[in-house]
Chain A
Amino acid sequence: MILKNQHTQQAHQRHADEVADLLLAVLHSSGFTEPHTREAAFQGSELPALFREYVDKILGESYRITDDDIDKLLASGYSQDAIFEITVSAALGAATKRLEAGLSALKKAG
């Protein structure tokens, strides 16, 4: 059993450093938006209404996003770089939520 648990722990470490580097860069590097704004997009919480609507689409049915969604953000004064950062942060949040759920179930399996 101990050996099995060690094996599962080792399995959990696979790709962990690369994922951590990606999270660090997207959420904490200097950019056009503040880290707390990217963190909010990542978590899917507490964003201005327009961004909220856009991020909800990224998290849910991203294939429904249209030119109009981006045009509305640009017309409201958000820069292309800000939209890029929020898009990556939200997409990374959706992917991370899934990875955490999967790895958590594997951990429970021991």
Chain B
Amino acid sequence: MESNGTVEIITGLHIGDFFFMLQGAKRTIILTLVSISLGTILGLFIGILRGVFNKYVNYIFGLFLDFVRSVPLIIQFILVNAYFGISGHAKSPFFIGVLVLSIYSGAYISEVVRAGVLAVPLTTRRAARSLGLSWFHDLFYIVFPIGSRAVFPSWINIVIGLFKDTSLIAVIGYIELLRAGEIIITRTWEPILVLGCVGLFYFIICYPISKWSERFEKKVLT
């Protein structure tokens, strides 16, 4: 089988496949970066809000967050996609993906942020206020620096989780790395080779980051 100058390797794979996977990898990374940025902003916002506001608001948010964390991601992708479909305003898979992943990661991040805010000793914050610092100053100069140390390792875990979860978006038609790999496999039947490369890609990104986060956590604790 020939197609404009591609070289056929013994296994049936050709160079075009490699670029196909590379594209998939690029999309995985972009999806991750965009979603985690939006998710972090959302999570910070909700987390601080929940740390501050009254029980009623807290409860509503809590319920929503609970739902997002108890329903599998694939179901969420398909559901949101179906919703936009029937509402007549169909959106691209990338849009749906970013929407769902941002809310999903935002939910987890908000929990982590809330714990981080609560981890800052009230006594320290009172001391700041009694020096005349405003509520906002307290947040910015006291809560944020102290809290973010505790929050950081958990945040990294969420980022890594999100990076791996992008592999699910294939169900609504977005071709990221793992789906690209699967497509090649069903054509060439070289699962070990292809999956090996795919797995390696995820591994060499996730492993160093998580190890570094572990060491960071140890340093902070001592």
Q: Do A and B form a real pair?
A: no
Q: B-side interface residues toward A, CB under 8 Å?
A: none
Q: A-side interface residues toward B, CB under 8 Å?
A: none
